[in-house]
Structure 1
Amino acid sequence: MYAISVSGYIDISRHFTLIEGRKPMMVAGNGANLYVEEAGSGIPILFIHEFGGNYNSWEPQMRYFSRRYRCVTYAARGYPPSDIPTDPQAYSQDMAVADAVAVMDGLGLERAHVVGLSMGGFTTVHMGLKVPERCLSLTIAGAGYGCEPGREAYFRDVSLKVADNFEQMGAGAFAPIYGQGASRVQFQNKDPRGWNDFVTRLATHSTLGAALTMRGVQARRPSFHELEHELSCMDVPSLIMNGDEDDHCLLPGLFLKRVLPAAGLAVLPKTGHTLNLEEPDLFNTLLAEFLAQVEAGQWTKRDPRARPDQVMKTLD
């Protein structure tokens, strides 16, 4: 069990106590204190944010699902007001999983539905692999960058360039550029106000934390294809969600659907990478139905008769 601590932080409780429904705290992770918020009561849901977001990125889900669930979100290491370790070795995919487990331990959560977007989606997958006994279900949204066969080196190179851009320009200057990526402009076109909020949050990121996260987590994590055997043995109920214009997540999403024994795939039309903010109503509806089926015991493994090699049934 990890102790909850607020030592070394500037009166966070004073800043947030006037905000109705927020319960802020610090949880001691693995060498880094992590900022956590929770709302609601009931079966727990743990929301894990993407590289370009932070704990506030889940606000549409925290408001909606806290009506009947205990909703928890947190700032990953390197994201204020969580600690920002300066050692590059403090950032990795394994450490991201350990931090998610530390949050659950710090709040006394034995099991939870785990919901992650992009970087958080990778952490969600790895929680299913490493601590399946802690996961009621997995929602893997917008995950797949760096997992397309033959494009792994390209993704690593781009990740390192993004890290350099954060260091050289600073988060404030680079945020509007990053926010106009090929899978972000859909959000900008549909909801300019929401997109502007996204970019404004991104501009407050730690320059150091963003660079170290990009180099240590994003650029070094294994491809899904490298984990095919482990994934094929992982039977935690899983929902994969992708936008149809989030091109570099489509093939990895199909791969996960084919490999994971108890997975469903939802593709959101005319949608990019920032699924939960770009299409919050559709995202919430799909997630709510998935959780209901899991809790009813109706989200089962794929029927073995649904053979991927068969087109039509014959007498042969």
Structure 2
Amino acid sequence: MPFATTPDHVKLYYEEAGSGTPILFLHEFAADYASWEPQLRYFSRGHRCITYSARGYTPSHVPDNDSDYSFEHMRDDALALLDHLQIPAAHLVGLSMGAYSALQVGLHAPSRVLSLTLAGCGSGFEAERLQAFRDKCRADAEEFDRGGSEGVAKLAGLMPGRIPFLVKDPRGFREFHDALAQHDAAGSARTMRGFQGARPPLSEFAGALQKLALPTLIIAGDEDDACIESSLFLKSHIATSGLAMFPKTGHVLNLEEPALFNATLERFLALAEAGRWGPRDPRSIRV
């Protein structure tokens, strides 16, 4: 099994397919490397596609302490994987937790990024909801500790933003939910406390976002209430960004609407690679 080792000696399991310009896929909290399979099968026809399980998600290693799951660790893990594969720069495609990590790579090491795709990014963003979001993360982590993998699936699998997937595609949702029930509960709890419940809100990076010059695609589902405001915030602060809103869609964008996700991403990558995804023309901004 292929593993990359991080600077703090955590082993990350990864898979890759195809050849060409690299795309690195970063998964959400309730997923792992395998959740990007619909994208690997499609984009590996013309790109080198890499997906990996974050720390705390088997077959990757599960560090013992909450402090090993900070947003900086997650950011640096993506860079460590690029280093291991000797990839100077890649397109980064992230969903939710993975989108936040991809964004942090873009802010911290923009030379390693060809473009950013930020899907379902920024839960808990609103100032009036932030403390409640963090409190829920801590409560969920305690439930994961008590309830094990079944507790992870029960809480994380049936959050409001996942219900559209359940309604629209029960078969696909069952597969997603069954995979979630196999997660390492300790890793999920530590990720919930160390990353989800402790990461800074996007608003703390407002100044840095305004300086970001990477081609950026933001994707949100119109029934993913937790990520609509944050997606609009990203759009308004990143001059080189575009926003795609998927109708009647929740949080699990790449699995709930794989064909639409792939088509949207494909168009963006083609324009980014052609140098045709630039900053917004100031003349188009309402004053």
TM over 0.5: yes
Name the residue aligned to 1:308: 286
Q: 1:146 aligns with which of 99, 124, 144?
A: 124
Task: Summarize deviations over 1:259-301 as a string: whole Å, max 9, x none.
Answer: 0010000000000000000000000000000000001110000
- SS, match of residue 305 in structure 1: helix
Q: How far apart are residue 118 of structure 1 and its match?
A: 0.2
Are 2:83 and 1:83 equivalent residues in the alignment? no
1: CA distance, partners of 2:62 / 2:151: 20
Are 2:258 and 1:280 equivalent residues in the alignment? yes
Are 2:183 and 1:195 equivalent residues in the alignment? no
Q: How far apart are residue 144 of structure 1 and its match?
A: 1.3
Name the residue aligned to 1:254: 232
Q: How far apart are residue 176 of structure 1 and its match?
A: 3.4
Q: How far apart are residue 173 of structure 1 and its match?
A: 4.0
The residue identity in structure 1 corresponding to 2:221 is G
2: CA distance, partners of 1:173 / 1:161: 12
Name the residue aligned to 1:135: 113
Runs of 4+ in structure 1 deviating by more than 4 angstroms, as ranges, are none
2: CA distance, partners of 1:283 / 1:124: 17
1:96-135 map, 5 Å: 96-135=74-113
2: CA distance, partners of 1:112 / 1:273: 24
Q: 1:228 aligns with which of 183, 202, 206?
A: 206
Q: How far apart are residue 88 of structure 1 and its match?
A: 1.7
1: CA distance, partners of 2:250 / 2:35: 15
2: CA distance, partners of 1:180 / 1:89: 27
1:45-84 map, 5 Å: 45-84=23-62
Q: How far apart are residue 149 of structure 1 and its match?
A: 2.3
- SS, match of residue 38 in structure 2: helix
Q: 2:216 aligns with which of 191, 214, 238?
A: 238
1: CA distance, partners of 2:83 / 2:152: 35
2: CA distance, partners of 1:173 / 1:233: 41
1: CA distance, partners of 2:272 / 2:149: 40
Name the residue aligned to 1:21: none
The residue identity in structure 2 corresponding to 1:277 is L
Task: Summarize deviations over 1:135-161 as a string: whole Å, max 9, x none.
Answer: 000000001111112111011011111
2: CA distance, partners of 1:35 / 1:186: 30
- SS, match of residue 170 in structure 1: helix
2: CA distance, partners of 1:301 / 1:246: 27
Moved more, 149-158 or 236-245: 149-158
The residue identity in structure 1 corresponding to 2:39 is Q
2: CA distance, partners of 1:192 / 1:38: 29
2: CA distance, partners of 1:178 / 1:210: 10
Task: Summarize deviations over 1:217-238 as a string: whole Å, max 9, x none.
Answer: 1111111111100110011100
Q: CA RMSD in A?
A: 0.9
- SS, match of residue 183 in structure 1: helix
Choose 1 or 2 for highest CA Rg.
Answer: 1
2: CA distance, partners of 1:307 / 1:291: 25
Gaps of 5+ in 2: none
Are 2:4 and 1:27 equivalent residues in the alignment? yes
- State how many pairs are aligned: 286
The residue identity in structure 1 corresponding to 2:53 is A
2: CA distance, partners of 1:82 / 1:178: 20
1: CA distance, partners of 2:150 / 2:237: 40
Gaps of 5+ in 1: 1-11, 13-24, 310-316
- SS, match of residue 283 in structure 2: coil
Q: How far apart are residue 306 of structure 1 and its match?
A: 1.7
2: CA distance, partners of 1:176 / 1:284: 29
The residue identity in structure 2 corresponding to 1:33 is K
